[in-house]
Structure 1
């Protein structure tokens, strides 16, 4: 079995509009902290060292993460939308499918027609609970500032097509699942249409599904299907997302 890491690294980077902060506590400083209740410091520890640790400040949507239905709105399918710790684990360990939809912001978001073309090309028929991974190539921009502005996103129609086929988890290798923030806001200012704003996300108020955002290295998966995906999200109470170390398991 071959394991392929499909995640970016959580780190301070211009690719994250909300800065990730990591504070490193050294082994020497760790000794002072551990010994303080007993009134001792690093001088009393073997080699003058205790245990290191890190303090991390970030959002639940930093790095590679899984969006839960509660992120999209307070209700879904007429019931309270489930948060990340409430979702079934079986959603996050299923057969995977990679669909190639390369391009950047100039190409517009991925359409239903493109997904159908790719499914025909690889001769694959979706089945319920498949994990669909959409490769656009946007991960090549990580960790530059352009990663936040130059990617395709996915249309609401394409999202609905997958969810109506029984898909519960859809992943993309870009900053967000919808088009770049600036593109959507400019479209709203031009047209006044509310459906220009985060349409794929807001579809999640109608039907229950999860997005994986900020995947990477989908091009390393050697086949379009015939592999498994593990993408278990971290359990965070009442959270709309959870970080995930997403892995493809290829026989």
Structure 2
């Protein structure tokens, strides 16, 4: 069984949203002194490959710990957007090109190819974003989540978080950001999971997102 890691490694050098602090990873016990190693980990809730729930932008929205485990596992399909240039919109043309599997999927994962810039200043540039028609389409369906290989569903310059707010308005769905290796997932449906850390009242949390293929697909609703 082939398993594909879709998550970036969290390190002291991990790119973070402008204004956030980078992860602090400190050794507090060592083999030499204590006979074992232990670390103090200090990170923002939206660091690295992570999940946004409705509570990220709405005070009354559901937090990650209140969502059922089934929200984080199911069938996914990659929407290929690698032909788009910076600032271009992801439209229904990209979704329609993926075919009938779009209707059967639980997760739509958008591959812009932007993960190749991870660790460089270009990663904070004008990556493609979904347009209003795509947002309306997602809102009209029963998807468990959507995901992107960029810093956010909104452009970094949009401090209003327009797309976040429209996505989470009256809808139980998750948004996964900073994915990677989506080009390895192929063009059809595959099994996908993105379980977050279980943190009380979580407005977001890192995830180890993975994809895998088996002879029969998971049917988890």
Pairing 1:225–2:205 present:
no
TM-score by length of 1: 0.77
User: Structure 1 stretches (4+) deviating beyond 4 angstroms?
Assistant: none
Gaps of 5+ in 1: 32-49, 75-79, 186-196
Residue pair 2:192, 2:209 contacting (<8 A) in 1 also: yes
2:26 equivalent among 23, 26, 38 = 23
The equivalent of 1:99 in structure 2 is 79
Give the number of the structure whose alpha-carbon radius of gyration is greater: 1
Q: Is the 8 A contact 2:15 2:48 kept in 1?
A: no
Q: In the superposition, relative to structure 1, how do residues 105 and 149 fare at CA in structure 2: closer, same or farther (>3 Å)?
A: farther
RMSD: 1.9
CA distance in 1, matches of 2:119, 2:32: 31
Give the equivalent residue in structure 2 for 1:87.
67
Query: What is the aligned residue count?
Result: 209
User: Is it true that 1:138 corresponds to 2:121 in the alignment?
Assistant: no
- 2-side partners of 1:24 and 1:145: how far apart? 28
- Cα deviation code 1:10-39 (max 9, x no counterpart): 11226213211111243124x1xxxxxxxx
TM-score normalised according to structure 2 size: 0.86
1:8 aligns with 2:12: no
Which is helix-richer, 1 or 2? Answer: 1
Q: CA deviation at 1:125?
A: 4.2
Q: List runs of 5+ in structure 2 lacking aligned partners.
A: 215-221
Partner of 1:71: 56
Contact 2:87/2:126 (8 A) holds in 1: no
